[in-house]
Structure 1
Amino acid sequence: MEVRAGAALVIIDQQKGIHHPKLGRRNNPHAEERMRALLAHWRRNGWPVIHVQHLSHSPESVFWPEQSGVEFQDAFVPRAGERLIQKRVPDAFCSTELETSLRDADIGQLVLVGVATNNSVESTARTAGNLGFETWVIEDACYTFDKADFFGELRSAETVHAMSLGNLHGEYATVISSGQLLA
């Protein structure tokens, strides 16, 4: 198995609000650099790029539509010809045209990057795998934040990230590094 030319790069929730201090400590400080390298590779090759934007229902969210946090980070603003998917829940397939647009374009392979690994990335990857898309998650081009588990024990972003990738790999997706993909 390998990532083929023409696979769609799906960039999840790279919006200004994701850098808000209230979200806490994160892992993978170089994730955006890896995402930019992948995006440049996709653009150079003319392959499909899909930008996913979260529009929250909650005014307290960093992605509330009526404030600047909902806007894309400068490096991830969609260009002409690149698809924009706006979602209201973590899963980019839920109540959006993502599946239809992929099937209409005859795209069967997806490469997922973005934030948060255990939230929007994981939920989107699970659905993609369940729908039969060949799904790849780029582990060093995703990140998440420290999070308390169900029992209240604080888990590091690194642990949360690793568990999420463990949940996905081999069942819903194949997890690799950006270096493996770009080599």
Structure 2
Amino acid sequence: MKVILPLAALALLSMLFLLSRSIGPTKTIPVAEVGLEQRAQEQGASNATFTGMTDEGDLITLSAQAARPYADDPSRILADVVESRLTLTSGSLIDILSDEADVNQDDSTIKMTGDVRINTSTGFHMTTDVLNTRFDSLYAQTPGPVTGNGPPGDLDAGRMVIAPNDETGDTHLFFTDGVKVIYQPKNAED
């Protein structure tokens, strides 16, 4: 056994090297040519993240698959495939997803466009085409219609505003301009 097992191991190792594919050392490594020239000429960042805090202490995080400054105005940034999270001082969360965002650093504004989806930790799930928001204070508003659902049921409104209530300071969703709610009562057995 002392002789047969080492010879068998040597035979297996030899077979491994004899049957393996050879790799040519002069072959080049394949590199994707898609967008390399364009990315080399333009400024921008992949997987960009912006973070900040409002004057009231709410945390704002905005991340994008790609972000690039406007050529004519470097204080404005165009971001693609955007995810934003607002962590409120009350502990509530508001997640916002959109196709694009136009970040204006001079005005402290963000205009989110495309398929904008707003989800809150309190159970609201809303969609709209445009959401204008700020990153120096807690304020967001849709200039057009918003649809979705929440704890009371299905909602349609001409406009929605996310802002603190003047009396209590708590953050609320305010629906205006023709609000339609289809109330869905909870089952009495629950």
TM-score (norm 1): 0.26
Q: Which has the larger radius of gyration?
A: 2
TM-score (norm 2): 0.25
User: Greater relative contact order (Cα 8 A, min sep 6): structure 1 or 2?
Assistant: 1
Larger helix proportion of the pair: 1
Larger strand proportion of the pair: 2
